[in-house]
Structure 1
Amino acid sequence: MSYQASFRVWRGDEAGGDLRDYRVEVNEGEVVLDIIHRLQATQAADLAVRWNCKAGKCGSCSAEINGRPRLLCMTRMSTFAEDEVITVTPLRAFPVIRDLVTDVSFNYTKAREIPSFTPPAGLGPGEYRMRQVDVERSQEFRKCIECYLCQNTCHVVRDHEENKENFAGPRYLMRIAELEMHPLDAADRRDAAQDEHGLGFCNITKCCTEVCPEGIHITDNALIPMKERVADRKYDPIVWLGDKLFRRTR
């Protein structure tokens, strides 16, 4: 069974643009990305959209559908009423290149600022030992497909361009938490998380968790525990005294 759906798609580039209306055929079982492809094939051959796997694993087709950050390939048309107008716009937190394609290089810059995994000195290959509970704890964070929906919906980035220089965003604060929680990572990342990557900007509204297509509990399992570690490090008087008496660095 097919029907004609009403779509409003943002068209333009860095200089500006607007929403344009289209009527596009929809068939049973299709997702929004299918409709965007049909729109390209039948009415708007020059429509720019980024995509790759169409399986919800590459994170390329991130956009906003009716104002909510989502993956085009994982948003089924059956979730909308047939007479509903579906609005598709580019990610708002990042500069537009053209149409639905945005410049997400901000995220690559933040990724490069985080020091990589640092094993203890003298630990040879094959000598890594971890408990299963530690493996499972960080494995959740490794499900991230870097779609940057969490980065886009975080109001610290989305609504305050001036914060980008000093705020890594939930995706990369989660990366810092993953490394900090790794029992074999020798680096102490707590001060850097607060002072260099802006952990204090996060006010745990859980908006990043709500849009994660992989269902990662970014706020509860990464950001809040990282805030607790930073608080212990910086503000717990007993920890402070222990550091002074025993010259501990961790």
Structure 2
Amino acid sequence: MGTKRQFRIWRGDENGGDLQDYTVEVNEGEVVLDIIHRLQATDAPDLACRWNCKAGKCGSCSMEINGMPKLGCMTRMSTFTEDETVTVTPLRTFPVIRDLVTDVSFNYEKARETPAFAPPADVAPGDYRMQQVDVERSQEFRKCIECFLCQTVCHVVRDHEENKQAFSGPRYFIRAAELDMHPLDTRTDRKEYAQAEQGLGFCNITKCCTEVCPEHIKITDNGIIPMKERVVDRRYDPLVWLGSKIFRRGETPQTSVTTARQGSATPPGTSRGGTHSHAGGSHDPQAEAQAQSGVNWHREVPHPTAPAVDDRGRLPLTELTFDRAAAPSPFGDDVTFPLPPEHLNFAHPEQDDKH
């Protein structure tokens, strides 16, 4: 025989609502989603809740339990004291449809904006070959079940609705990192795209996304921080900056990564007003002044560009003088596997486990 427990569940729709109290029977071994189902069968048959697998693999039953974004099917009732009132509310970041169901279409829109995997043109799909050592790091990000808990807890969009247009969120930062690490992906502008189009610079690495991930993906340590390091290496490294000034690389921006989406191409050697070069140069003095003074939330984010090349597709001397991208990077050739434990830029998913 189960015990009676107190639940407080948000009921309402896009026009408003409030918390309603329920007393419901709880049996040993049950999870919060079990209690939601019992309420639907007894006291609240019209209670709306999204779910599918009840095994922590579909990411459908995302909700906020006592203020913490969690999966209802993975939150056991035994984690609460018997006299504790369990409060269940919808994800706060996204618009409410009804009760515990929210409109998460924002995430699917950002998924469509993310450039897809670009395999080598001269390799047939059945001929793709990769070594395990080459996919060791990006394989972690494939565990994402798209529960969007990391998206809803990210304060950049949680507390600032106006940021949604320019910010993709942690789920798509690790997607960009995964493809940037992929040994067969041929796009070389993933990090620039993440910075200029996905809003990577808005993230201040509070690691709240990592804390709520039910798959224990090290989103910040293994995805966002390395991507930020790559961007800083290319854009702000003093040697690259000096080379751009000496060889005036900033005067000839090349094809933008957003050309396909904008429907217009930029011929080699043709400048685009307000477009930053790969090294940070720009034809717009105002945009450059804003970039030097810090983040301006009201200006249009410059489009990223590929490394400057001549009409024969060859890199200039400034590129050829470096044997790697400006400085050692966790993505570079200087990384050996397995990674040494003192390597602070990489946190293994299992390193927190107690043995």
- Do they fold alike, i.e. is TM over 0.5? yes
Partners of 1:151 and 1:171 within 8 A in 2: yes
1 CA distance for matches of 2:58 and 2:64? 17
Q: Does 1:203 align with 2:210?
A: no
Give the gaps of 5 or more residues in structure 1: none
Count of equivalent residues? 249
Matches within 5 A, 1:136-151: 136-151=136-151
2 CA distance for matches of 1:117 and 1:203? 27
Q: What letter is aligned with 2:3?
A: Y
Q: Which moved more, 1:131-140 or 1:195-204?
A: 131-140
Cα deviation digits, residues 103-135 of structure 1 (max 9, x gap): 000000000001111123322334433231222
Partners of 1:190 and 1:233 within 8 A in 2: no
What is the TM-score of this pair, normalised by structure 2?
0.68
Q: RMSD between aligned alpha carbons?
A: 1.5
Q: What's 2:47 paired with? A: 47
Q: Which moved more, 1:17-26 or 1:179-188?
A: 179-188
Q: Which has the larger radius of gyration?
A: 2
1 CA distance for matches of 2:234 and 2:111? 24
Q: What's 1:245 paired with? A: 317
Partners of 1:209 and 1:218 within 8 A in 2: yes
Q: What's 1:226 paired with? A: 227
Q: What letter is aligned with 2:317?
A: L
Q: What letter is aligned with 1:90?
A: P
Cα pair distance change 1:3/1:91, threshold 3 Å = same
Of structures 1 and 2, the one scoring higher in RCO (CA 8 A, sep 6+) is: 1
Q: What's 1:20 paired with? A: 20
Q: What's 2:65 paired with? A: 65
Partners of 2:135 and 2:183 within 8 A in 1: no
Point out the structure with the larger helix share. Answer: 1
Cα deviation digits, residues 178-236 of structure 1 (max 9, x gap): 00111221112121111110000110110000000000000000000010111112112
Matches within 5 A, 1:101-140: 101-140=101-140
Cα deviation digits, residues 28-62 of structure 1 (max 9, x gap): 11000000110111001000000000000000000
2 CA distance for matches of 1:61 and 1:173? 23
Point out the structure with the larger strand share. Answer: 1
Cα deviation digits, residues 120-172 of structure 1 (max 9, x gap): 33223344332312222111100000000000000011111000000000001
What is the TM-score of this pair, normalised by structure 1?
0.95
Q: Does 1:213 align with 2:214?
A: yes
Q: What's 1:76 paired with? A: 76
Partners of 1:150 and 1:170 within 8 A in 2: yes
Give the gaps of 5 or more residues in structure 2: 245-306, 308-315, 326-355
Q: What's 1:177 paired with? A: 177
2 CA distance for matches of 1:125 and 1:8? 52
TM superposition shift of 1:5: 0.6
